[in-house]
Structure 1
Amino acid sequence: MRLVLLLLGFAALIAGAACGASGVASLRSLDEDDYLLSGPARLTTSTAGFVGSTAELAGRSSGIRNNSVTIRIRVSDGRGLFLGIAPAAAADPYLAAARHEVVDQVRYDPLELRRTAVGAGDALAPPADALAWTASASGDAPLDLSWSAQNGDYVFVILRADGRPGVDAAVEFGTKFRYQRGYAIAGMVLGLLLVAFGFVLVVAALRRRSSRPPSAT
């Protein structure tokens, strides 16, 4: 019985420490608006710009339910830029007019993008008036675009406001899930409870051994 208590106690201690550490790390990674940020990275291309799926920013494994995830794109350095989000069906014909880079994988902390250059053509029409964007921002840095993700196939773009090729910008992505800060705090509390429970089990096992009467000789 003592061995079982010790094993359960140490298991609870390990699980509690891992759970609490995860909660602390998640809480520390959130900004003042509760966004989980990727950290900035310099994005440079000689093509018309960058295009990617909004689902890639939100995390494909999480799924997207209407208004459950908010996506943020921040530009801290760059001039004459355009940030936009639109249904892929509307954006694809416009983007097909020029060579651009497709972002098919986004990794956070640090920010890393896997991208592939596709298409042909030198320049796009100025994007602001090219189609009805679901959300957009343009001008010189700092730029900040946030959007409550919707079901469906949407893309984000980082282009030059005049449509010409050549984008150079310091970009940071962020996501905010509903109750994200609450989940982080709950993880910390659960971790503390597991550590306390494990400590009680270990102490009980050790006391059980010390209270055992000495064997007769």
Structure 2
Amino acid sequence: MTSISAPPAYTSPAPRRRGAARVVALVLGSLLLLPGIALVAAGGLLLWAHGVHRSDGFVFSPEDRLSTSTHALFSDRIDLRTGADWLPVSTSIGDARVQVTADDRGAVFVGVARADDVNAYLHGVSRTHVDALGFDSPAGTDDQFPGGAPSGPPADQDFWIARSSGTGTQQVAWPAGDGDWVFVVMNADGSAGVDVDGRIGAEFPALGTVAWTVLIVGAGITVVGVLLVRPRRQGF
């Protein structure tokens, strides 16, 4: 009698769903890794600035050499509006500070005032625009406006919200309230030819909290991304 063997059991192919899920995990993991690593780097940089790059409680920009043959140096408008009612400027930034160091030739003046007041005082005065103090290498001072001497020494004006004059290093600090501010650097007597080293800074009282928050969030996103792209061990 001839025996008939049963056909081998049918083995179904591996479901495509598992492969598709793996592709989705790889794509999501790759998309998460880039912002995660960027946030970790940003958090580390903020922590470095908070712990190392402080002077007298302020985080300062790098120092720039500012020199002009005109009567005054004036900054960009410093707009300190946060754009969010729940985050007051005074809480996020604290006080702002401008510091200049003059050479040995004479006394220097540095003052901060509202942009409209500065524009009125320097109207018709030879002056030089300071572009991106501390954030350009070096700060640009090529934008000059022709004119004559000011109507009087800067220290005699009453519109400054903060001012300082004298030889050597001079600095002014002011509460970082909403508004457009401009800082001005001149020789104390209003004469032409200003030559100083300058930098700008702020207290940033919440910088440490922000830095740790950014670092932790970035680390969490990075870990999730790594877990998604990590090869999975196959079972037997």
Using structure 1 for the length normalisation, give the TM-score: 0.79
Larger-gyration structure (1/2): 2
Of 52, 63, 68, 1:45 maps to 68
2:133, 2:200 within 8 Å by CA — same for their partners in 1? no
**Contact 2:39-2:214 within 8 A present in 1 as well:** yes
Conservation of the 8 A alpha-carbon contact between 2:65 and 2:196: yes
Q: CA deviation at 1:191?
A: 1.5
Residue type of the alignment partner of 2:99 = R
Q: How does 1:165-184 map to 2 (within 5 A)?
A: 165-177=192-204, 179-184=206-211
How many Å separate the matches in 2 of 1:90 and 1:132? Answer: 7
- Give the 3-state SS of the residue equivalent to 2:98 in structure 1: strand
Report the RMSD for the aligned CA atoms in angstroms.
2.8
- Could you tell me whether the CA contact under 8 Å between 1:90 and 1:131 is conserved in 2? no
Of residues 64-73 and 77-86 in structure 1, the stretch that sits farther from structure 2 once superposed is 64-73
Write the letter of the residue equivalent to 2:114: P
1:137-177 per-position Cα deviation (integer Å, ceiling 9, x unaligned): 11122222222233333321011111111110111122444
Q: Secondary structure at the match of 1:84?
A: strand
* Offset, 1:121: 0.8
Counterpart residue number, 2:30: 10
Q: Are the equivalent residues in 1 in contact too, given 2:100–2:110 (CA < 8 A)?
A: no
* Unaligned stretches of 5+ residues in structure 1: none
Distance 1:103 1:41, change over 3 A: closer
1:63–1:100 Cα change, 3 Å: farther
Task: Tell me if structure 1 keeps the 8 A contact 2:28–2:228.
Answer: yes
Alignment match, 1:101: 128
- Report percent identity of matched pairs: 30
The alpha-carbon distance between structure 1 residues 2 and 175, as it changes in their structure 2 partners (threshold 3 A), is same
- Distance of aligned partners of 1:11 and 1:90 in 2 relative to their CA distance in 1, 3 Å threshold: closer
Q: Normalized per residue, which structure has more helix?
A: 1
Secondary structure of the corresponding residue to residue 232 of structure 2: helix
Determine helix, strand or coil for the equivalent of 1:6.
Answer: helix
Letter in 1 for 2:70: T
Query: Structure 2 CA distance, aligned partners of 1:153 and 1:198?
Result: 42
* 1:102 aligned partner, one-letter code: H
1:136 and 2:160 aligned: no
Q: CA deviation at 1:113?
A: 2.8
**CA, structure 1 residues 22+34, in 2 after alignment: closer, same or farther (shift >3 Å)?**
farther
Unmatched segments (≥5 aa) in structure 2: 1-20
After superposition, give the CA deviation of every residue in 1:17-55 in whole Å (9 maximum; x if it has no partner). Answer: 111011112222343366443211110001112112442
Show the 5 A alignment for 1:1-217.
Answer: 1-30=21-50, 31-32=53-54, 35-55=58-78, 67=90, 68-69=92-93, 70-78=95-103, 79-103=106-130, 105-106=132-133, 108=135, 110=137, 112-113=139-140, 115-177=142-204, 179-203=206-230, 205-207=231-233, 210-211=234-235, 213=236
Partner SS state of residue 98, structure 1: coil
Change (3 A) 1:109 1:47: closer
Q: 1:168 to 1:128 in 2, by over 3 A?
A: same
Equivalent residue pairs, number: 206
